Amino acid sequence: MPAKELSPIEVYKTLPGTNCKECGENNCMAFAAKLVNREATLQECTPLLEPKNQSSYEKLWDLLKPSVRAVEVGTGERKVTLGGEYVVYRHEFTYFNPTAIAIDVGDEMPDEEFEARVKTASDFKYDYIGMTLTLDLLAIRSTSNDPEKFETAVRKAAALTEMPFILCATNPAVMEQGLSAVGDRRPLIYAATKDNWKEMADLALMYGCPLVASVPFDLDALRSVARTLWEYGVEDIVLDSGTMIEDGASATLDNFTILRLNAIDEEDEYLGFPLLGAPIAAWAEEAEDPVISEWNETVIASALICRFADALVIHSVSGWSLLPLVILRQNIYTDPRKPVSVEAGVFPYGEPDEMSPVLLTTNFALTYYTVASDIESAKLTCYLVVVDTEGISVESAVAGRKLTADNVSEAMESFKVGDLVKHRHLVIPGRAARLSGEIQETSGWTVSVGPLDSSGIASYLDEKWKPNPEE
């Protein structure tokens, strides 16, 4: 049942109804609401785990389980969850597990290149409006089809990084050699095909690893292989329906869309698995200029992030290629029900003193980090008061009464801004100009209206800042 059709009442009626508070909520109804919003798990209800409530647990699991099965790759802090989604479209509910991005290495790469690529994948970090964006997986490919070379490459990668692995080989003998080195790290096995599915399934079961079912551009055959693997005992399955670039891009995207629609809207249990895309296919044919291959790869990777891919294998490591992907992914996988916000408070910049300017903004993350960046770039010395507007930007917060004279005054008092400076002069954003009189009357501070855009703060302070308006 899609999440949007589930009500807390339906869940509440199936809970034990003890109101024991062991889940951290005041009553079972509050816990039911959190379950429906996927903010809690069934395991947090202690009475539900008792044997006498087994049937209730199973009924709730059927109600609450995701339409797309969640598959874990790796172990420990860096493990990655693929899938686990409930809806087709983000606005219906939210997406939970961001598309995992894997960088590839090959077992015939020179040591220097191999090590450099592993380091790039493992160390990649980008700070984006208060969030650290990273890469997730390392895909180790057997290009040699040599079991010993593959094992050597896998062991070398294991010594260099704690990232989870995708082991890529269609030869079961090669795959077995690689698994012998890192099977305990729960790598994703790529791939089971129509020809080798039994041998690969045996390896997946032996090592307790998830397995990719791969049948390019034949969805009926892909479903058949997935069903066969499931009935054979492999439960953690990932689907690869094939990836083509340029002329085949539309077919690639169509297949991903069909698979996700069938999994969620049609509730086809044999297609309800995470989807893996391989934009690395852009490198299959050498272009005259490698930048063209990088461009094509980035375009199809971006499209697949938007079209339901739960994991991607890419070859490009250029910043201009990776940054758009991780930022796009982050924007799509934020919860549309909850604006991205920062903690409210008062923050010093530079080494402010008792006569330094006091500026105001909201706690919408994009607004805050834009303002903070402009302040830091201009090397300004000031205090920045961040008001809790429930993560809404200045203009919207004013219009929606989330930024008011009352909550500005409460913030100034709560954060003890008056203890930080001797003057009583506050600069508010230009987009909050209509609140200036109310804030001045309510707070007792003299209010000046600053620029519409934070890029103008530096020139505004140079020209107009007067701690004492009577000067």
Are 452 and 387 in a shared domain? yes
Do the Cβ atoms of 135 and 101 come closer than 8 Å? Answer: yes
Is residue 337 included in any domain, yes or no?
no
pLDDT of residue 5: 64
- Number of structural domains found in the chain: 3
pLDDT of residue 63: 84
The enclosing domain of 26 has a CATH number of 1.10.15.40
Are 365 and 389 in a shared domain? yes
The rounded average pLDDT for each run of 10 residues, N- to C-terminus, in the chain (471 residues) is: 66 91 90 86 88 90 89 96 93 90 98 97 91 96 98 98 98 98 97 98 98 97 98 98 92 97 94 98 85 95 97 96 96 84 94 95 94 95 96 94 96 95 95 95 94 95 77 46
Is residue 339 included in any domain, yes or no?
no
Q: Model's pTM, two decimal places?
A: 0.83
Are 362 and 259 in a shared domain? no
Are 201 and 94 in a shared domain? yes
Instruction: Provide the CA 320 distance to its chain's centre, in angstroms.
Output: 20
Is residue 32 included in any domain, yes or no?
yes
d(CA 355, CA 432): 24
Q: Look-up: residue for tokens 């009924």?
A: 59
pLDDT of residue 471: 46
Are 280 and 427 in a shared domain? no
Domain that holds residue 109: 70-332
Strands 237-240 and 100-106: unpaired
Is residue 151 included in any domain, yes or no?
yes
Is residue 470 included in any domain, yes or no?
no
Are 292 and 427 in a shared domain? no
Q: Name, in order, each residue with C-beta under 8 angstroms of 114's C-beta and a sequence gap of 6 or more.
A: 105, 106, 153, 156, 157
Are 120 and 209 in a shared domain? yes
Do the Cβ atoms of 368 and 361 come closer than 8 Å? Answer: yes
Do the Cβ atoms of 33 and 7 come closer than 8 Å? Answer: no
pLDDT of residue 102: 98
Do the Cβ atoms of 381 and 351 come closer than 8 Å? Answer: yes
Is residue 406 included in any domain, yes or no?
yes
